[in-house]
């Protein structure tokens, strides 16, 4: 999806489409102000005009600690400089629980702007506030046959498993894994 949006942005001769994205990773603790700054930096670098708001934010950051609301305001000001802007945030389920209120503030602000917001999350750890606040929500699940093909491939390509499982037991494992993934998500 990011590649397709990049292509769309590069095809725009007026450079009036902005794109910023962020990938959460549970192994790396990230504050939401860090996320907002990463998005702001990406859009700022794509902007054809120098945003005074960014310079003002930099000056304030040198004197005091900048608040999330300040960064969001500047982010939205930079978004406003584009004819269209897209923000993609992947794996919000990997955002630490203590950051959820700030994440919701960021996502709500972006969603209320003219920016297009796309985010992903696994259904196993639903972010209830997010699913209630934003629409549409599209659930994507692979067909059971795809899951079974993947599990069977893994078994066949892992010598220890291949030698350990009889054909009957392999079929039971594949079927159980397919059912489990469909019930609980990937």
The domain segmentation of the chain, as residue ranges, is 2-133, 144-184
Task: Give CA separation, 22 vs 26, 32, 49, 90, 155, in Å.
Answer: 13, 11, 23, 6, 34
Report the predicted TM-score, pTM, of the whole model to 2 decimal places.
0.73
Q: Which is nearest to 71 in space by CA: 105, 120, 98?
A: 105
Inter-residue contact 90 to 21 (CB < 8 Å):
yes
3-state secondary structure of 165: coil
Residues facing residue 116 across a β-bridge: 86
> Block means of pLDDT (10 residues each) for the chain, length 186 residues?
73 74 92 95 86 82 84 94 91 89 90 87 61 62 83 88 85 86 67
pLDDT at 151: 86
**pLDDT at residue 55, rounded to an integer:** 82
């Amino acid at each position: 999806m990011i590649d397709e949006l990049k292509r769309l942005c590069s095809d725009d001769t007026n450079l009036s489409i902005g794109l910023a994205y962020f990938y959460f990773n549970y192994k790396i603790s990230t504050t939401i102000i860090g996320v907002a700054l990463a998005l702001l930096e990406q859009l700022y670098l794509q902007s054809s005009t120098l945003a005074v708001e960014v310079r003002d934010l930099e000056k304030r950051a040198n004197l005091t600690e900048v608040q999330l609301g300040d960064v969001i305001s500047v982010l939205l000001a930079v978004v406003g400089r584009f004819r269209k802007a897209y923000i993609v945030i992947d794996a919000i389920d990997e955002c630490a629980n203590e950051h959820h209120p700030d994440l919701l503030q960021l996502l709500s602000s972006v969603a209320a702007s003219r920016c297009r917001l796309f985010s992903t999350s696994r259904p196993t750890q639903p972010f209830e506030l997010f699913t209630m606040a934003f629409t549409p929500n599209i659930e994507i699940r692979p067909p059971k046959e795809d899951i079974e093909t993947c599990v069977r491939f893994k078994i066949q390509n892992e010598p220890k498993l291949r030698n350990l499982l009889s054909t009957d037991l392999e079929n039971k494992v594949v079927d159980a894994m397919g059912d489990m993934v469909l019930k609980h998500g990937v």
